[in-house]
Structure 1
Amino acid sequence: MMSTSLLISSVLIVVVVLVGWRLQVHRWRRPQFRPPNLPQQLPADWVVDDPAALARRLAEREAMEPRIIPGAEGLITLADPQAPRKTPVCFLYLHGLSACRQETSPVTELLAARAGANAVYARVAGHGMGARAMSEVDGAAWLESIWEYWLMARNLGEQVVVVSTSTGSAYAVWLLEQVGVREKVRALLCMAPNFKVRNRYAFLLTWPGADYWLPQLVSSERRWHSLDPRQEKYWSTNYGNAALIQMQMILDDVQHAPIETFDVPLMVQCSPDDPVVDAQFAHRYFHRWGGEPKEFRWISVGPDESPHVFVGDIMSPQRNEDVIQHFEDFLQNLPQ
């Protein structure tokens, strides 16, 4: 007897083929977004050699967008606000899809504070402003915003430690693919990295014509239930499937990135029971990574904990110190 999964797969393929016959030729293509615009410098009116001025400029820009949820803003923190300076290392935090910097806070904050380092907390374009804003931008805009925050971090530290959660880790790999970036990165620290989602049908998101036929097969929105009022506040718990298509396009790229050539130290902390990302794929991806040293640590979670966001004051404050300490130990043992 045909298994349920095989039957579902067969039906999906038949539906896709039948829909394909109805598509106009120009629609029968893989979803794609425009190439991101990646300037080599921040805008001329940003004073890049003054850390305090740079922090103020970012705060002013974020304040001009009234839809940003308080606490979700892009942010720069200075190691010593009384004597701002470029520090030996700057930490750059990249959050996941539909989230913001509160996602695993205070992990990056404490790493930076204990290292006496400046820090940059990205707000990916369209995020931290509610569900509708996510549908107003494309994947290229996400990457452009990541690049802009990278330029800030590059100006605030001699080297940069990138800290990422979930899809933020995919953004980090994309960032490391860009010319001149790896030379400035001290290490990449990943929590629950999304290099491949766990849903076995995710690959369909970037099949030819998916942006046309997918909304006809499933709901046009993804909705999920928050586990905490603060999660409801700081995450977008419903957003259009177009965002998932944009995410999958980025994942398709990073899955084939030449990471064997990346000479950046890497530490990953991940739960084998993660229901969102494919943890076993992340483990195999880690073994492909060319940089040394590298370390992969499995996280065991209890029955009432989140296996995906397994750290942070909102979801798992009891694990903050454990995760931070392992990241600190890794950084302290890096060769000078």
Structure 2
Amino acid sequence: MKLLGKWLAALLIILTSFLLSTYEWRIPEYVYDQSQSFANFDEYYQKELEISAKEGTRKDNEERLIRYSPEKTPIAILYIHGFGASRMEGEEVINQVAERFQANLYYVRLPGHGTNVEDHKNTEFTRYLQDAETALLQSSELGEKLVLVGTSMGGLIATYLAGKHPDKVDALVLASPFYDFTTADSNVLRFSWGVPLIHTLMGEIRKSAEQDPNNESYLYWYRDQYYASVKHLMNLKRFVEKEDSLSKIQDPTLLFYFYENEAIQDRSASVKAMLSAFETIKKNEKASEVSHAFQVVKGDHILFSKHVKVEQSEILSELVSFISKATGAEPVDLKKVKRK
């Protein structure tokens, strides 16, 4: 019995040593590249469109600018989409919000998105942050105040940007923000052998449970994704955690999350992590009293798209009310205005 105990202790030591030596302690760094400059927002936008065309971006996946005025509007909205997604993820609801406030609106396209899964696999998270941060800095030309909106991974990126640039953001909307995976097995991605192990056991591509070739939404989302792409998502999550972005957020924040009960809830991003993150935001001594969380009982991970079955009238009403309180902007009577 003693001999067995010694063997088990030795195996435990070996296993612990192996895990410690193969854990990726060093998180990739990101530093914003300030070398690019633009005369104005329109020049920036045209160059982004040129890049999208050159990369073969699919129709309606490219970035989009909706202007209600050639000048600054009282508020502007910047939308950041999620992992493997596109602006279609938010257009159904956010377009209506912009219309209610007559707000200039910009949808950024993150690198590696809207083209093909190989591009997605080969795009590091640092490029996501670079393009999103550039969009944020340029969007200050669109409005007197800026509302930053992010869904899923876009919410994680928006969290980082709001923490880094509290002076640039006047209201933050987080829709099903990705702060953690829903299962613990994703932690294998923290180890050097994680992706190779997944490839051995499951292949290189993560298959969607939904494989209907007639599903129109796959024109705007990647149906299947490389596991190597998910590694980039893990690296982004770890980087934002290292930056302690949540505790730096001072702006009024609205969190949307889908939760009906333990069996019926968001299965793409951890609701527990979302609520924990929101509590961290509220603990900031400069946190806004306007900040609050809104539970969507009949919903989905994606909340703002026409491609999901979600009761969006309540979501729209909540968004309009929050933005008005957070920025002081008043929604207009659409019957009395004409699009410029």
C-alpha spacing 1:237/1:33, structure 2 compared with 1 (3 Å) = farther
Write the distance in 2 (CA, Å) between the matches of 1:60 and 1:87: 26
Within the candidate set 191, 198, 201, 2:175 is matched to 191
C-alpha spacing 1:32/1:119, structure 2 compared with 1 (3 Å) = farther
Provide the secondary structure at the position in 2 that maps to 1:183.
Answer: coil
C-alpha spacing 1:264/1:234, structure 2 compared with 1 (3 Å) = same
Write the distance in 2 (CA, Å) between the matches of 1:32 and 1:72: 34
CA deviations on 1:99-147 (whole Å, 9 max, x unpaired) are 0100132222221222122111111110111212101211112211212
Gaps spanning 5+ residues in structure 2: where?
1-10, 260-264, 329-340
C-alpha spacing 1:261/1:177, structure 2 compared with 1 (3 Å) = closer
- Matched ranges for 1:192-271 at <5 A: 192-224=176-208, 225=210, 229-255=215-241, 257-271=244-258
Moved more, 221-230 or 197-206: 221-230
Q: CA deviation at 1:218?
A: 3.4
CA deviations on 1:155-188 (whole Å, 9 max, x unpaired) are 322332111111111111122233xx11110111
C-alpha spacing 1:112/1:37, structure 2 compared with 1 (3 Å) = same
Provide the secondary structure at the position in 2 that maps to 1:196.
Answer: coil
Q: CA deviation at 1:17?
A: 4.3
The percent identity for this pair of structures is: 18
Q: CA deviation at 1:334?
A: 2.3
Structure 1 residue aligned with 2:308: 315
Provide the secondary structure at the position in 1 that maps to 2:326.
Answer: coil
Contact 1:226 1:232 in 2 (8 A): no
Q: CA deviation at 1:315?
A: 1.4
Provide the secondary structure at the position in 2 that maps to 1:248.
Answer: helix
Write the distance in 2 (CA, Å) between the matches of 1:160 and 1:97: 23
Q: CA deviation at 1:52?
A: 4.2
Write the distance in 1 (CA, Å) between the matches of 2:93 and 2:138: 20
Structure 2 residue aligned with 1:8: none
CA deviations on 1:80-106 (whole Å, 9 max, x unpaired) are 2xxx11223221111111101001322
Within the candidate set 270, 273, 279, 2:271 is matched to 279
Q: Does 1:106 align with 2:99?
A: no
Structure 1 length-normalised TM: 0.81
Moved more, 214-223 or 266-275: 214-223
Larger of the two Rg values belongs to structure: 2
Structure 2 residue aligned with 1:36: 30
Write the distance in 1 (CA, Å) between the matches of 2:192 and 2:199: 14
Q: CA deviation at 1:260?
A: 3.0
Structure 2 residue aligned with 1:139: 125
C-alpha spacing 1:111/1:335, structure 2 compared with 1 (3 Å) = closer
Q: CA deviation at 1:40?
A: 3.7
CA deviations on 1:180-223 (whole Å, 9 max, x unpaired) are x1111011111111111112222221134434444334322111
Moved more, 255-264 or 288-297: 255-264
Write the distance in 1 (CA, Å) between the matches of 2:132 and 2:162: 11
Residue identity opposite 1:64 in structure 2: K
Structure 2 residue aligned with 1:126: 112
Write the distance in 1 (CA, Å) between the matches of 2:126 and 2:27: 6
Write the distance in 2 (CA, Å) between the matches of 1:70 and 1:262: 35
Within the candidate set 65, 79, 94, 2:55 is matched to 65
C-alpha spacing 1:146/1:53, structure 2 compared with 1 (3 Å) = closer
Gaps spanning 5+ residues in structure 1: where?
1-12
Q: CA deviation at 1:295?
A: 1.0
